[in-house]
Every structure is written in C-alpha cells, then in structure tokens.
Amino acid sequence: PLAELYIAGGIASKISTKMTDKRFIEAFVNKGVMTSNMKEITVKLVCEEKVGLQGAILVAQMLRQCQ
C-alpha cells in the first residue's frame, strides 16, 4: 500500500458501520486524478476511544525517563 489512514477517537465508533458501505468506499477513492493513489491507501479503524490519552501517557513516561 501507498500509505495508511488511521481513523480514531470518537468519530471511529460513529462511522464504523459506514466503513464497509459501498458509498463510503467510492467517495473515499473517487478523487479525480488522485483515484489511483487513493486506491493504494489502507484505511484502518481504531475503536479504542482513549487511544489519544494512552498515547500521551506513553510519551510522558518516555520523556520522564530521559531526564
């Protein structure tokens, strides 16, 4: 794949059922001259709503160890 797109946080749970809908896929991919590139992007859904908080805690712990 060309790249990966991660959808996370509160929006992820709200659109999870729409991710497999043909209309979502077509709307995501059909971008004119960029269509071939869009087809190469893997879309991943992160359903853990507190992933941002967990990431911030991890970074804070790493920064604390560097002091």
Could you report the per-residue pLDDT of 35-59, keeping only the tens digit for each?
999 999 999 999 888 888 999 999 9
> CB of 53 within 8 A of CB of 10?
no
What lies within 8 Å, CB to CB, of 7 at 6+ separation is 15, 19, 43, 44, 45, 46
> CB of 29 within 8 A of CB of 39?
yes
Which domain, by its residues, includes 32? 3-66
Please determine, for residue 60, whether its predicted confidence score (pLDDT) is greater than 80: yes
Mean pLDDT of all residues in the chain?
90
CA gap 62, 51 in Å, rounded? 17
* Number of domains observed in the structure of the chain: 1
Q: Tell me the pLDDT band of 1, cut-offs 50, 70 and 90.
A: low
- 6-20 average pLDDT score: 87
> CB of 12 within 8 A of CB of 45?
yes
